[in-house]
Amino acid sequence: MNEQLRDALPHKDTPFLRVLHIIVAVLVLLQIINSNLTESEALSDYSLTGFVTWFHVISGLALIVLGVVMLGWMLKNRGFRYYFAWLVLDFRGIIEDLKMLFSFRLPEAHAGGIAALIQGLGVLSLLGVAVCGGTWFALETIYGPSSALAESTLHLHKFLTVFIETYFWAHGAMGLLHIFLTIRSQRKSPVIE
């Protein structure tokens, strides 16, 4: 990979989070792509639809584990208030970032800021949709496909998917913008050794 591009990727100072972030992003993208090819009735089929459905279930269960690892890492290394300052009604970082945005400058990531807020909400939405999907799978396995509770949980899972998909595309677009602006600023002021 081009060194300039690699340096522009997020989490340069935390390689574990960088790799975890990429793995989660790829799995979420695969979930989005294959979700339209899944059928709950296909879990017992030996067909392409059955294979895709099982892949969706297994990668979804993996996302629960990876989401918990990511949230744990985030809280251990940066603390609750870094990502969730708004829950204790501390909006100073968000207000500071909004002022920068209104002056046509991009704010850096910092405690309580917009980037931290988005990262925290993204991990919560990931865990929400994945845990709901895992709960559906458990209910489907225990009570069978005719269970009203399993059916309701599946509908909730599909509803929550809207939030993670919206987050995925918006976060991805902002990430690409960040990478583009970082590379552009590196070209304007090259480091000479």
Start-end of H helices in the chain: 3-8, 15-34, 48-78, 80-84, 92-102, 114-143, 148-188
pLDDT class of 43 with cuts at 50, 70, 90 = confident
Q: Are the C-beta atoms of 109 and 14 separated by less than 8 Å?
A: no
Task: Determine the residue type at 174.
Answer: M
Mean pLDDT rounded to a whole number for the chain: 88
Mean pLDDT, range 133-158, rounded to an integer: 92
Residues 63, 24: Cα–Cα separation, whole Å: 7
Residue count of the chain, please give it. Answer: 193
Tally of CB atoms within 10 A around 60: 23
Give the DSSP letter of residue 9: S
Q: In this predicted model, what pLDDT tens digit does every residue of 61-99 receive, in sequence order?
A: 999 999 999 999 999 999 999 999 999 999 999 999 999
Residue 191 predicted with pLDDT over 60: no
Residues 149, 170: Cα–Cα separation, whole Å: 32
Give which of 94, 131, 146 is closest to 116, Cα–Cα: 94
Mean pLDDT, range 122-141, rounded to an integer: 95
pLDDT class of 30 with cuts at 50, 70, 90 = very high
- Note the pLDDT of residue 12: 65
pTM: 0.84
- Note the pLDDT of residue 10: 61
Residue 184 predicted with pLDDT over 90: no
What the block records as the tokens of 188 is 């304007």
Task: Determine the residue type at 15.
Answer: P
Residue 183 φ then ψ, to 5° = -65, -40
